[in-house]
Structure 1
Amino acid sequence: MNTETKKYNKWIVILSIAIPLVVAILFGVKIDAELPIFLPPIYASINAITAVLLVVAVWAIKNKKIILHEKLMKLAIACSVLFLAMYVAYHMTSESTKFGGEGAIKTVYFVILISHILLSIAVIPFVLITYVRAITNNIELHKKIARITFPLWLYVAITGVLVYLMISPYYFIP
C-alpha cells in the first residue's frame, strides 16, 4: 500500500464514521424555519437520477467508455452528496412524517426503510474505497470492490425512491 492510499484510507475511515454520526446528531437539531420548497420529491428524484447514473456508468465501463464512466460516477457521488444535504435540511426543519399504512404494507415499508437506512450507512466506505482505488489507478482492486459497491449503492438509491413513494400519501396529514 503506497503513501497516497494510506492518506486516503484515513479519510475513508473518518468520513465513514463522521457522516452517519453528523447526520444522526443533526436529526436531533430542529430549526424553526420553513424551507421555500418541499424537498422530499426533489431528493427522491435525485435518488432516482443516481440509480440511472449508476446503471449507465456500468454500461459505459462494460463498453470501454472509461471517460464517460468516470464522469457518470463523479456525478453519482455529487448527487448522493446533494441528496444527503437536502435530506438533512428537510429533517432539521420539518417533523417526520408517520407512515399511515396498515397490515402487510406497513411491514413491507419498514423492511424497506430499515434496510435502506442500514445500507446507506454501510455503503459509504464502499463508495469511498471504490473511488479511491479508481483515482489511484488501482484498477484491479477497484473492479473487485465495485462489484460489491454497485449493487449496494443501487439498492440504496432505488429504495430511497420506494420509501418516498410509499410515504408520500401521508405528507401533510395532521
Structure 2
Amino acid sequence: MITEEEKKYKKWIVLLSIVIPLAVAVLFGVNLRKLGYDVTPLSFLPPIYATINGLTAVLLFAAVAAIKKGKVKLHENLVKICMACSLAFLVMYVAYHMTSDSTPYGGEGLIRYVYFFILITHILLSVIIIPFVLFTFVRGIAGAYERHKKLARITYPMWMYVAVTGVIVYLMISPYYVH
C-alpha cells in the first residue's frame, strides 16, 4: 500500500528523474569558453569527483552494514550523505564539462572496448538510478520498510555500480587529460 508521503513525493521524483538527465545533457553540450566567455577550465575537478564517487561507494557499503546491524538512524544518515555526494559529483561534473574540452580516450585495442562498455553502462545506469534512489529513500522515510527493503535490493547494486565505475572511468581516462 502506497503511503500518503510516497504519493506526495511521486510527482517530484518523476519530475527530477526527467529534468536532471535532460539538464545534464544540455549543459554537457555547453562549453562557456567556446561561447566566448573568459572562464578558467576547471581541470582540477575530475580527481575530486572521482574521489567523491569512491567515497559514495564506501558509504553505501557502510549504510548497508549499518542497517544489517539494526542501526537505522546511522543507515539513514549515510544514505543522505551518499545522496549529497552524488549531487556534488553531478555539479562538479557539469561545471568541468562547461569549462573544459572533452578528453578523448586514447587507449587502443581491447581496452578501448572495455573502457567504452564501462563508460556507456555507467552513464545509462546513472540516469536509471535517479528514480530508484529517490523512491527507495522516500519509502524508507515514509516507514514503508518492507517495500523500501524490496526496492533497495535493486537500487543498491545499481548505485554501487555507478559509484565504482565512475572511479574506474576516471582512472582509465586520466592519462589522457591535458594539463
Shorter-normalised TM range: over 0.9
Q: Which ranges in structure 2 are unaligned for 5 or more consecutive residues?
A: 34-38
For residue 110 of structure 2, the aligned residue among 90, 104, 115 is: 104
Map Cα deviations across residues 67-109 of structure 1 (whole Å, 9 max, x no partner).
Answer: 1111100000000000000000000000110000000000000
2:41 equivalent to 1:43: no
Q: Distance in 1 between matches of 2:116 and 2:5?
A: 41
SS in 2 for 1:84: helix
Q: C-alpha separation between the residues in 2 aligned to 1:53 and 1:98?
A: 31
Match of 1:75 in 2: 81
Aligned to 2:26: 25
Match of residue 93 from structure 2: 87
Residue 152 (structure 1) aligned with residue 143 (structure 2)? no
What is the aligned-residue RMSD (CA, Å)?
Answer: 1.1
Give the TM-score normalised by structure 1. 0.96
Query: Percent of aligned positions with the same letter in both sequences?
Result: 64
The size of the alignment, in residue pairs, is 173
Alpha-carbon distance in 1 for matches of 2:104, 2:42: 22
Q: 2:147 aligns with which of 112, 134, 141?
A: 141
CA distance in 2, matches of 1:42, 1:76: 15
- Which position in structure 1 is the counterpart of 2:125? 119
Gaps (5+ residues) in structure 1?
A: none
TM-score by length of 2: 0.94
